[in-house]
Amino acid sequence: MPEPYQLYYWPILQGRGEFVRLVLEEAGAPYVDVARMPEAEGGGFKPLLAFVQGEQPGHPPYAPPVLVDGELVLAQSAAICAYLGERHGLAPDDPGRRKQALQLQLTVGDVADEAHDAHHPISAMLYYEDQKEAALQAAAKFREERLPNFLGYFERVIERSGGPWLMGGALTYPDLALFQLFEGLRYAFPNALADVCSSTPSVLALRDRVAARPRIADYLASPRRLPFNEHGVFRHYPELDSDT
């Protein structure tokens, strides 16, 4: 049996670590979510903070998520997902198409960043209440302009690939990322997303197709899947999902 991967991410939220968890779950790859383990078993915040503060050996990450695979220490969710996808049959075989899959993963990350900045447009170090007026303006732009543009882009990708997946006939790791993006947007902007979905049926069908995959369905129904909350990338403030 191979040694399980070690995933280091904040234990109370999905955040960017969830993109990695979904790839691990779909791959059926053994992993340990270290910070969610009891401190007595070597878990908790301390080993995570040791990476953030540069106290662990190996290539230093700037921020979590961090994946440890033997001597390899790798950060950045897109880089980790690409690494795992290529190791576990969730990426194209062709080198050029592998780069296109990474392109899609990075684009999902761009949307997630913009969704986050809709509620924290000035600084992530300030409370939402300290930038609420700016957030109201940023969220309106995100709902009205950026959200339809981004989902429309993914709709075109699926259609041009021949579907039903982003890269064509086989699921790859960016499909899992698009699923997570959709779920996060549905939590944060349910009204705005519902308005867009009528024009992006392929994206909606892909979301449903991912949710029905046996390992993903098992994960979503398990306590391993943390609920969305107002500490992560996707946060629901009703006033940001409405023009009123």
Residue 9 is part of a domain; what is its CATH number?
3.40.30.10
Residue 112 is part of a domain; what is its CATH number?
1.20.1050.10
Burial class (CB in 10 A: 0-12, 13-18, 19+), 24: buried
Same domain, 138 and 181: yes
Same domain, 42 and 99: no
Query: What proportion of the chain, given as a percentage, has pLDDT over 90?
Result: 90
Same domain, 67 and 163: no
Range 99-125 average pLDDT: 97
Same domain, 77 and 114: no
Same domain, 83 and 100: no
The string of pLDDT tens digits covering residues 134-170 is 999 999 999 999 999 999 999 999 999 998 999 999 9
Report the alpha-carbon distance of residue 185 to residue 196 in Å, rounded. 11
Tell which residue, 233, 15, 238, has the closest CA to residue 143. Answer: 238
pLDDT at 190: 97
Assess contact for 4 and 31: CB atoms under 8 A: yes
Domain endpoint, select from 57, 87, 117: 87
pLDDT at 1: 63
Task: Give me the chain's average pLDDT, please.
Answer: 95
pLDDT class of 51 with cuts at 50, 70, 90? confident
Range 183-204 average pLDDT: 97
> What's the gap between Cα 99 and its chain centre?
18
- Domain count of the fold of the chain: 2
Same domain, 28 and 72: yes
The string of pLDDT tens digits covering residues 204-216 is 999 999 999 999 9
What is the domain extent for residue 58? 5-87
Same domain, 57 and 80: yes
Same domain, 71 and 120: no
Report the alpha-carbon distance of residue 148 to residue 191 in Å, rounded. 13
In this predicted structure, the answer to whether residue 102 has a pLDDT above a threshold of 90 is yes
Burial class (CB in 10 A: 0-12, 13-18, 19+), 165: buried
pTM: 0.96
Domain endpoint, select from 33, 54, 87: 87
Report the alpha-carbon distance of residue 104 to residue 177 in Å, rounded. 9
Residue count of the chain: 244
Domain endpoint, select from 53, 87, 121: 87
Q: Out of 22-26, 40-44, 76-80, 219-223, which region has the weakest mean confidence (pLDDT)?
A: 40-44
pLDDT at 157: 98
Range 187-197 average pLDDT: 96
Report the alpha-carbon distance of residue 190 to residue 192 in Å, rounded. 6
Same domain, 150 and 104: yes
Phi, psi of 12 (to 5 degrees): -110, 5
Range 117-138 average pLDDT: 96
pLDDT at 54: 85
Q: Which amino acid is at 73?
A: V
Report the alpha-carbon distance of residue 171 to residue 9 in Å, rounded. 25
Same domain, 31 and 137: no
Same domain, 63 and 22: yes
pLDDT class of 243 with cuts at 50, 70, 90? low
Tell which residue, 54, 77, 47, has the closest CA to residue 65. Answer: 77
Report the alpha-carbon distance of residue 131 to residue 129 in Å, rounded. 5
List Cα–Cα distances, 43 to 46, 74, 100, 109, in angstroms: 7, 19, 36, 28
In this predicted structure, the answer to whether residue 194 has a pLDDT above a threshold of 70 is yes
Same domain, 146 and 28: no
